[in-house]
Amino acid sequence: MSSELTSTSQAVPRDADGRLAGDLACVQCGYNLRGLSPEGRCPECGCPVGRASWGTLLRYSDPDWVERLARGMRWVVGGIILTCLALALAGAMGFAELRGLPRVKVPESLATLPGVGLSVVFLVGYWLLTTPDPTTGQPEVGFSDRKGARGLLSVGSLLSILASAVGLAAPTAEQVISAVGEFLNIPGLFLLFSHLTELARRVPDPSLA
């Protein structure tokens, strides 16, 4: 790649047809994008030309992908809120029982539904939040924080659902499956935070990021 080329966000002159009239390097492979349409793709790697013109800011990324990330975050936040409400309700019921108030009896077949529901909410949220960026032009190669978070958190959530399903018939198996799921969730959450840190760097406001 020529040292005169640049892959940073900049204003590149256009010709009469709206094509790039100056040198601009593809952010994916370094190919000189001069003469191409800003709405086109690099002929070498398929990366959108706009990525080199505007950078990797989320505001210039695929809008469907950004909306998918936003939906995922809403699901995760919703799961956190529901978990807090469930813990508060459990605490209130325990306090009422200590005070001698009548206890609300819930059938064992229904007692596992809240846990299953929460696991499903988090599973959907984690899956959406770790959707790969489609604007790179090439598939990811090798391990990444995004892949690790998606794999570990998805498996952990599925094991939580499985533990709730077998809980009534096999309490011991429930404990083992639940413990494995929680064990996977711990590194999965660290990888998710690292993935979100990378996404935050694509926000132009440092304080917001």
Q: Tens digit of pLDDT for each residue in 123-180?
A: 999 999 999 988 665 567 789 999 999 999 999 999 988 888 887 677 788 889 989 9
* pTM confidence score: 0.72
Residue 25 is classified by DSSP as B
Q: Which two tokens stand for residue 207?
A: 């304080």
**pLDDT in the model for residue 130:** 96
Q: Tens digit of pLDDT for each residue in 17-47?
A: 888 888 888 877 888 988 888 888 889 888 7
Contact 19, 37 (CB under 8 A): yes
Domain chopping of the chain, boundaries: 1-55, 61-200
**pLDDT in the model for residue 67:** 95
Using the predicted structure, report yes or no on whether residue 198 has a pLDDT greater than 60: yes
What pLDDT band is residue 68 in, cutting at 50, 70 and 90? very high
**pLDDT in the model for residue 153:** 95
DSSP 153-207: HHHHHHHHHHHHHHTTT-HHHHHHHHHHHHHHHHHHHHHHHHHHHHHHTTSS-TT
Contact 138, 203 (CB under 8 A): no
Look at residue 94 and give its three-state secondary structure.
helix
- Residue 172, φ and ψ in degrees, nearest 5: -65, -45
